[in-house]
Amino acid sequence: MPHSRRHSITVVDIAREAGVSKSTAARVLASRGSASQEARRRVLTAAEKLGYRPNALAKAMASGASMTIAAVIPDIASPYFSAVMRGLIDAARANGFEVLLTNTDNDAAVEERSIEVLAEKRVDGFVIAPVFQEHPRAIERLVAEGSPVVLLDRRTPALGHVPLVSLDHVGASRLAAGHLLDLGHRRVALITEAPARVQTADLIASGADDTALRPSQQRQIGFARAFEERGLVVDDSLVIHAEYSATSASKVFGRALDEGLDFTAVYCTDAVLTYGAFQAVAERGIRLPERFSFVGFDDQNWTTVVSPPITVVDQPTHALGVAATELLLGLIRDHDAVVTDLQLPARLVPRGSTGPRGQ
Amino acid sequence: MPHSRRHSITVVDIAREAGVSKSTAARVLASRGSASQEARRRVLTAAEKLGYRPNALAKAMASGASMTIAAVIPDIASPYFSAVMRGLIDAARANGFEVLLTNTDNDAAVEERSIEVLAEKRVDGFVIAPVFQEHPRAIERLVAEGSPVVLLDRRTPALGHVPLVSLDHVGASRLAAGHLLDLGHRRVALITEAPARVQTADLIASGADDTALRPSQQRQIGFARAFEERGLVVDDSLVIHAEYSATSASKVFGRALDEGLDFTAVYCTDAVLTYGAFQAVAERGIRLPERFSFVGFDDQNWTTVVSPPITVVDQPTHALGVAATELLLGLIRDHDAVVTDLQLPARLVPRGSTGPRGQ
DNA sequence: ATGAAAGCGCTAACAA
DNA sequence: TTGTTAGCGCTTTCAT
């Protein structure tokens, strides 16, 4: 017993016990290469007897594959990301991979450090919901080195060539706005966390590649597209800007309500904003959809327990996680695989909070 | 270039570039042992220049510490576990550890396989919210081998000696029931997912170690304790059993309502049941707390947006995750450390859904 | 302070 | 089919 440290059972021990060479034992244990029935039986018996547990670290070291992927996201505690991660982990496990999970809190420094640490652990690939910044150096380095990387939910301009799996943010908003417009609404307010300086017209004009924009901006574009497609135009005075927090949304939308903003329907472009905006509605005892129609984002569980239940745009969260993983695994299997972006469609769930204008 | 595979930069490359021996380079890179100013400078420069990225796999292999812990939980998509995991991951990172996360879906076979795989990856320890079963073999094996293990939220009878970090389930219910009793309520209904055959009296009588029971049973005990402490006794005809799903809770509680069950307050012992039960309330347009008082479990976000806002028992989720990690890290540092269970207290958040009896 | 050498437990040629 | 021999990139004695 060389060390005082508990000596774990290795291939060598199995080989000795089974009376075969190390390689033979290794071969049958990894079910790779060939071995006689007899050898196989004896090795397996020995392994069973000694309680052999393969060392994945050594395996990874020698083979170059750790069978582990990394997920780098803002916050696992958010309903959205926890649901996506569920899909991601399910898909990973189904393919024999485990996942190292880390939160960035949308902090660029944390993201960089996390990616560095995970790269040191030699994960086989990364799924990243990147922090918005000019130069995500850590990610750029990964890509430069040829590490498999898939972006999730959003893509920064500098990462234009990295594959992205996301919701079709634009389409989601077209769906929501279209629903309201088709109900006859014309004065439709929008609650967004997009920077206030951006005018809807400018956003649309910029055209080109929407996916380089923040999801909130893409959602604003989709909103405008729905108007455009019907020969209408968005009234920027109805675009309400909030910070990314329920408190802010509640305050800002509450103020709009108190000041008598003239609108007959409102669309919230994000889950958190939806929650905040609805708080403002609930606090004031406003009746929907009589006073105005209300469309929220994400099918959060509270939306069906309030009165009336809220019409929402629902994201395929689990599917997003699965898709991101599968895209990544494709890249891991073949680093030069041609991968294309994947935009999953949202689904409109009409409920009681929306109704025809003037009802 | 020996392999066609991209040859990564290793200590040897740094040593060569810096003109020192492999050991010297390794020493300064790991900032362990001693080295001259000059050597240190040259090694660091070389590392910077070549873009050296230490291989944590090799490090783990050689040192025996992977600086990775495993979290084995039922479902990361649940609000409860995702919040706990947030705390767990935060604490792990703060101590230089990363976390491998896996879902069991409360399936014993999945749990066993997951633990096995993670053990093969040589994680330094496990935080496990175990599936309830007679013999969690995988966990028992870990413990037998001396692997650091901390149980989270619940403990099965066979794992009596494994440290546990959980909510003080009993205390949480005493708080909730006490609140209602102190408001003058006497006919207090309980909604639980605990097996119907268990009588409250039997549960209390069993006494001994509550932590070996399922959380739902512990919560039922706490409920009874609150009565007991006031010289009262629980009426088992007001104990409503539901499956562990919102649908079931909604159906079962709805039936109780429709059949005119005689009670003036109700307490739901779990988040999912709370949601389901409230659905039944909302569907029937019942006014709270006039018709009866309602106490829910977990401070879910919908509870403040419905009318009236719901009184709930709130768990310190983030703290639970942090505590579990810290306990585990203590065990990792010293396998023979004496660790004791940790039961974190719940907090009662009184809101509009509860009021004095007969109001 | 520095260097040489022996592992850690596996995979992967290459021989036999 | 089986065995031999190098590694993978680091840590860790043990000398010097």
Bases of chain D with protein Cβ within 7 A: 1-5, 7-13
pLDDT one-digit tens code per residue, B64-82: 999 999 999 999 999 999 9
Q: What tokens does B182 get?
A: 């102190």
Half-sphere exposure of A244 (CA within 13 A, CB side): 9
A interface test, pick of B82, B97, B147 with most A CB neighbours within 10 Å: B82
Q: How far is CA A63 from CA A47, A282, B60, B260, B337, in A?
A: 21, 59, 16, 67, 36
Q: Is residue B225 part of a domain?
A: yes
- Find residue A188's DSSP bridge partners: A265
B81 and B47 fall within a common domain? no
**Quick one: pLDDT at residue A2?**
28
**Quick one: pLDDT at residue A1?**
27
SS (H, E, C) chain A: CCCCCCCCCCHHHHHHHHCCCHHHHHHHHCCCCCCCHHHHHHHHHHHHHHCCCCCHHHHHHHHCCCCEEEEEECCCCCHHHHHHHHHHHHHHHHCCCEEEEEECCCCHHHHHHHHHHHHHCCCCEEEECCCCCCCCHHHHHHHHHCCCEEEECCCCHHHCCCCEEEECHHHHHHHHHHHHHHCCCCCEEEEECCCCCCCHHHHHHHCCCHHHCCHHHHHHHHHHHHHHHCCCCCCHHHEEECCCCHHHHHHHHHHHHHCCCCCCEEEECCHHHHHHHHHHHHHCCCCCCCCCEEEEECCCHHHHCCCCCCEEEECCHHHHHHHHHHHHHHHHHCCCCCCCCEEECCEEECCCCCCCCCC
B76 and B153 fall within a common domain? yes
A176 and A292 fall within a common domain? yes
Using the CB atom, is residue B57 less than 7 Å from strand C?
no
Query: How many other β-carbons are positioned within 10 Å of the β-carbon of residue A177?
Result: 28
Q: Is residue B5 part of a domain?
A: no
A321 and A187 fall within a common domain? no
**Quick one: pLDDT at residue A5?**
39
- Which residues lie closer than 8 Å to A228 by C-beta, 6 or more apart? A204
| CA A279/CA A264 separation, integer angstroms | 18
Mean pLDDT for chain A overall: 94
Containing domain of residue B77, as a range?
A: 63-167+317-342
B interface test, pick of A287, A305, A307 with most B CB neighbours within 10 Å: A305
Q: How far is CA B305 from CA A80, A167, A274, B207, B286, in A?
A: 19, 27, 11, 39, 16
Contact B215, B169 (CB under 8 A): yes
Using the CB atom, is residue A255 less than 7 Å from strand C?
no
Helix axes of B11-18 and B37-50: crossing angle, nearest 10 degrees? 120
B86 and B21 fall within a common domain? no
Mean pLDDT across A319-338: 96
**Quick one: pLDDT at residue A34?**
86
A298 and A199 fall within a common domain? yes
- Which residues lie closer than 8 Å to A11 by C-beta, 6 or more apart? A22, A25, A26, A29
Kindly provide the b/e burial profile for residues B227-248, where b requires at least 16 CB atoms within 10 angstroms of the residue's own CB: beeeeeebbeebbbbbeeebeb
A83 and A32 fall within a common domain? no
Nearest to A210 by CA among A168, A175, A172, A241: A168
Q: Is residue B50 part of a domain?
A: yes
Half-sphere exposure of B142 (CA within 13 A, CB side): 30
Parts of chain B with a pLDDT under 50: 1-5
Q: How far is CA B193 from CA B172, B245, B248, B270, in A?
A: 16, 9, 10, 8
Nearest to A306 by CA among B310, B190, B297, B83: B310
pLDDT one-digit tens code per residue, B311-320: 999 999 999 9
Considering only CB atoms, A282 lies closest to which of B77, B122, B307, namely B307
Half-sphere exposure of B298 (CA within 13 A, CB side): 18
SS (H, E, C) chain B: CCCCCCCCCCHHHHHHHHCCCHHHHHHHHCCCCCCCHHHHHHHHHHHHHHCCCCCHHHHHHHHCCCCEEEEEECCCCCHHHHHHHHHHHHHHHHCCCEEEEEECCCCHHHHHHHHHHHHHCCCCEEEECCCCCCCCHHHHHHHHHCCCEEEECCCCHHHCCCCEEEECHHHHHHHHHHHHHHCCCCCEEEEECCCCCCCHHHHHHHCCCHHHCCHHHHHHHHHHHHHHHCCCCCCHHHEEECCCCHHHHHHHHHHHHHCCCCCCEEEECCHHHHHHHHHHHHHCCCCCCCCCEEEEECCCHHHHCCCCCCEEEECCHHHHHHHHHHHHHHHHHCCCCCCCCEEECCEEECCCCCCCCCC
* Record: contact A103-B117, CB cut-off 8 A: no
pLDDT one-digit tens code per residue, A124-140: 999 999 999 999 999 99
Cβ burial, residue B258 (10 Å; 0-12/13-18/19+):
exposed
Using the CB atom, is residue A23 less than 7 Å from strand D?
yes
- Chain A residue whose CA is closest to B68: A100
- Chain B residue whose CA is closest to A68: B100
Of A182-186, A192-196, A302-306, A344-348, the least confident: A192-196
The predicted model scores a pTM of 0.95
The backbone torsions φ and ψ at residue B21, rounded to the nearest 5 degrees and listed phi first, read -80, 160
Closest Cα in chain A, distance from residue B281 (Å) = 9
| CA B38/CA B20 separation, integer angstroms | 10
| CA B116/CA A96 separation, integer angstroms | 13
* Record: contact B85-A76, CB cut-off 8 A: yes
pLDDT one-digit tens code per residue, A257-313: 999 999 999 999 999 999 999 999 999 999 999 999 999 999 999 999 999 999 999
* Residue whose tokens read 């309500």: A257
Percent of chain A whose pLDDT exceeds 70: 94
- Is residue A108 predicted with pLDDT exceeding 60? yes
- Which residues lie closer than 8 Å to B343 by C-beta, 6 or more apart? B166, B167, B168, B171, B211
B interface test, pick of A57, A102, A310 with most B CB neighbours within 10 Å: A57
* Max Cα distance, chain B (Å): 87
- The CATH number of whichever domain residue A46 belongs to comes to 1.10.260.40
Contact B122, A57 (CB under 8 A): yes
Residue A152 Cα to chain centre, angstroms: 5
- The CATH number of whichever domain residue B265 belongs to comes to 3.40.50.2300
Number of compact structural domains in chain A: 3
Q: What tokens does A233 get?
A: 């135009």
Q: Is residue B353 part of a domain?
A: no
Q: Is residue B137 part of a domain?
A: yes
Q: Is residue B95 part of a domain?
A: yes
Residue A192 Cα to chain centre, angstroms: 19
Nearest to B84 by CA among B272, B325, B329, B289: B325
Q: Would you say the C-alpha torsion A334, A340, A341, A345 has a positive or negative sign? A: negative
Q: Is residue A2 part of a domain?
A: no
- In the complex, which nucleotide's C1' lies nearest to the CA atom of residue B60? D10
**Quick one: pLDDT at residue A206?**
65
**Quick one: pLDDT at residue B4?**
30
Q: What tokens does B227 get?
A: 């009565």
* Record: contact A55-B146, CB cut-off 8 A: no
B77 and B25 fall within a common domain? no
Q: What tokens does A122 get?
A: 């030699």
Q: Is residue B222 part of a domain?
A: yes
- Chain A residue whose CA is closest to B321: A77
Rg (chain A; Cα; Å): 26
B26 and B126 fall within a common domain? no
| CA B196/CA A1 separation, integer angstroms | 54
Query: How many other β-carbons are positioned within 10 Å of the β-carbon of residue A202?
Result: 9
Q: What tokens does A231 get?
A: 């020969």
Q: Classify residue A133 as left (phi > 0), alpha (psi -120 to 50) or beta.
A: beta
* Record: contact B61-A66, CB cut-off 8 A: no
| Residue B251 or A198, more confident | B251
| CA A314/CA A151 separation, integer angstroms | 21
B176 and B293 fall within a common domain? yes
B203 and B179 fall within a common domain? yes
* Record: contact B6-A53, CB cut-off 8 A: no
B246 and B325 fall within a common domain? no
Half-sphere exposure of A314 (CA within 13 A, CB side): 16
pLDDT one-digit tens code per residue, A59-103: 999 999 999 999 999 999 999 999 999 999 999 999 999 999 999
